[in-house]
Amino acid sequence: MSFQRFYETWYNQLKEIVRQLNQVPRPATSDHHRELHQLLVQKVVSHIYEYYRVKSLAAKNDILSVFSAPWSTSLERSLHWIAGWRPTTAFHLIYTESSILFESHIIDILRGLRYGDLGDLSPDQLARVSEFQCETVHEENSITDELNDWQDGASEIIGLMGDIEEKMEKLVEILEKADKLRMKTIENLVQLLTPQQAVEFLIASAHLQFGIRKWGINHDRQRENP
């Protein structure tokens, strides 16, 4: 199966898992609800892990195809950082969702009520999110520097100097570092959130992905059929 066909199947499966996430009771009012949240969160994380596992195999087979990402829309590709989403995007999403929910609950919060959602992030959780964000920015910059160094050697590729296969292997290595950072970011955030908060974060992340892809498909269709 080509990676493009795999991605289409994987994407449709993600939609089904997100549909299940949307149906779980929130807020969690029992141990059963919390266990259900945790089970579905792990299901999403495992699904994402499978994506990167197969992507890694595809990259080793044809790294340039993975970088060009023909299964993505032109809008999605314009937002790519090393053939995928930028890890620090996850932190911006957390802050945005937390602010929106906090503002919508402000009256109830002043009355002492809590919903246990992303609007109820504790000071300790916020501190850890900030800490993870700083670490991720540092790692992002380091990987970007590696890609810049690789691109600076483009003249060697064009002039057929040096070992082309070795250069492609280096590009695979850079991509794998980027994908590992993306996976690490998701895992770190899911671990510091409560199961209910993790459900909400993963739903928001998926809806962002779905929305961008939908806009991208519409844009590409309009461009092809003016």
Residues 23-31 have a mean pLDDT of 80
What local confidence, expressed as pLDDT, does residue 26 receive?
79
- Closest among 131, 153, 137, 144 to 177, alpha carbons compared: 144
Taking the C-alpha atoms of residue 177 and residue 169, their distance in angstroms, rounded to an integer, is 12
What local confidence, expressed as pLDDT, does residue 101 receive?
75
Higher-confidence residue: 93 or 28? 93
Contact 97, 205 (CB under 8 A): no
Q: pTM for this structure?
A: 0.89
The radius of gyration computed from the CA coordinates of the chain, to the nearest angstrom, equals 20
Residues 154-168 have a mean pLDDT of 71
